[in-house]
Amino acid sequence: MTAFTTKTFHVALLSAGLFAGTAFAQTAGLVDVDDSVMVPPFNVTVDDLDDMDVYDAAGTEIGEIEEVVGTDANTPTAFVVDFDGEGYGDEERVIGLENFAMDGARMTLSLDAAGVATMPMDD
């Protein structure tokens, strides 16, 4: 039984490592989007989003948008958010646009701290 448990643990550990490698590879393939590009979900340019504060669902400021990245210089797909702590860590994470909503001039993140922790860190 112990050998089976150890083997199962190693397979799980290897799988987790492969998944993490995939997430970082995807992040590495993203590029900065040009400042003049419109970001369709929000109807503003990349330049307008640069350094915009990010809030959680409760209205607490948790960080700011450092960069808008995408598959090419004209296709935004994610924000690099520099988190200030507040339970979210003091780090930069790459988070898909689908996790954000713009309410007036305020950008709100729908993920909680646990959800953010699963997003890839910016290289």
Which one is predicted more confidently, 1 or 11? 1
| Rounded Cα distance, 41 and 107, in Å | 12
Structure confidence at residue 104 as a pLDDT band (50, 70, 90): confident
36: left (phi over 0), alpha (psi -120 to 50) or beta: alpha
CB 33 within 8 Å of CB 68: yes
pLDDT tens sequence across 36-84: 999 998 999 999 999 999 999 999 999 999 999 999 999 999 999 999 9
| Residue position matching structure tokens 């702590």 | 85
Amino acid at 120: P
Domain assignment present for 21: yes
Structural domain count of the chain: 1
Query: Looking at residue 89, what is its pLDDT?
Result: 87
Domain assignment present for 55: yes
CB 39 within 8 Å of CB 55: no
Query: Looking at residue 16, what is its pLDDT?
Result: 36
Domain assignment present for 123: no
Domain assignment present for 122: no
Domain assignment present for 69: yes
